[in-house]
Amino acid sequence: MCARVADKGVSAFLGNWASFVSKTVPRGFEEPEKMLAKTVGLGFARLLLQHASAISDSDAVAVIDVISRPGFLLSEKAYVLSLLAAKGHLHSRAGAFAQSMVDEIRKDDQTDQRGDDYASLAEALLEMSVPEARLYYRNGLAELDKLGSGDYDLIYAILHYAAGQPGGCIRPELGHRLMNLCQTIFAHDSHKFGWNLFGIACAKSIGTTAATKLIRWNDEDVASYSLGLPQLASYLSAEKHLSPLRAAVLLGICKDHGWHEWSVGDGLSSILPQARNVGEQRTIFEAVFGRGCIWKINCRALGWRLVLCLARHIECCRKKSSRRGRRRCQHGKAIT
């Protein structure tokens, strides 16, 4: 459909539309009839910008004046910008309008929203100027790098994604950036941080370099390595990034912090299945619960029944292996 509208008709429509759009009343507080006129007028303005035979510079100025008022969303402004940018003789107006939108984007308190808005702005300008669109897109990426201590939900969402994504380890610089983001939210109270989720995410997406980061945080008095290293070691072993014996050693050197969402039993359930044989399982068990080990204070918390079950399971497996029989260990089912 092609709408043939004379220049005078376009100007008349824009002037009439502007009279219904308030310059001061924010979105959602307009009178019903003015809200309807604003919405319908925006639809007609889009049609005119798309299909009118000619849009003059003065018409573009009038459209920008109306759409810049507080009643319009930034996404609506970006769409109008894309229509203006598609017309070669209006590029200068589109560029100035884009710059005014940048000023509005910078006022948003939400970091992730600023990143999305820059992406929308870049998309709108793509047809007009690829270098300029690339610049705004880079600004959006820079905004995402500014995630800070107030972005709890977003950072935890990234951790959940890192813990569940099936693609293996990410690039080292991305893993380093993710761990730095985590530091921003536990720097003031590391005991309240989700170390179990951190361990799963690092084992899935970062690898053994996460242990180095924990040691560095400990050296810098940011957070004790004992808060997150036991979980990380057990999950690294489960993902086959770390041998079970080394995971057991790391488990043994850490202090007990009484985690609510993780226990040494959970760690053993991840480490023991990775052992190559019964002898290695026995070594792991003795390393964790042996004489002088700090984890012995957790036996009561774990439940003596679980500890005895583990011991009996290892002993039965050892006897079974020595006899080379096929009789099933009666305690094997309880530990799986």
Half-sphere exposure of 259 (CA within 13 A, CB side): 22
Per-residue confidence band for 143, with pLDDT thresholds at 50, 70 and 90: low
Picking from 14-18, 159-163, 224-228, which range would have the lowest pLDDT averaged per residue? 14-18
Give the per-residue pLDDT at 145. Answer: 63
- What pLDDT does 309 receive? 52
At residue 290 the predicted structure's pLDDT band, cuts being 50, 70 and 90, is low
Flag the least confident range among 22-26, 106-110, 210-214: 106-110
φ, ψ of residue 38 to 5 degrees: the values are -65, -45
How far, in Å, CA of 213 to CA of 229, rounded? 10
Give the pair of three-digit tokens for residue 157: 């969402």
The radius of gyration of the chain's CA atoms, rounded to the nearest angstrom, is 31
Which sequence spans correspond to the domains of the chain? 7-144, 152-291
User: For 205-213, what is the mean pLDDT?
Assistant: 93
pLDDT score for 322? 54
DSSP per residue, 60-122? HHHHHHHHTSTTS-HHHHHHHHHHHHTSGGGHHHHHHHHHHHHHHHHT-S-HHHHHHHHHHHH
* Interval 196-220 mean pLDDT: 93
Let me know: does 74 contact 119? Beta carbons within 8 Å.
Answer: no
Q: What is the mean pLDDT of the chain?
A: 79
Average pLDDT over residues 42-48: 88
In tens, the pLDDT along 312-323 reads: 554 555 555 555
- What is the per-residue pLDDT for 303? 42
Tell me what the mean pLDDT of segment 27-45 comes to: 85
Q: Is residue 94 a contact partner of residue 84, using CB atoms and an 8 Å limit?
A: yes
Taking phi over 0 as left and psi of -120 to 50 as alpha, with beta for the rest, 207 belongs to left
pLDDT value of residue 202: 95
The mean pLDDT of 114-119, rounded to a whole number, is 80
Whose CA is closest to 83, among 122, 121, 118, 124?
124
**Cα dihedral 291/296/300/306 (nearest 10):** -80
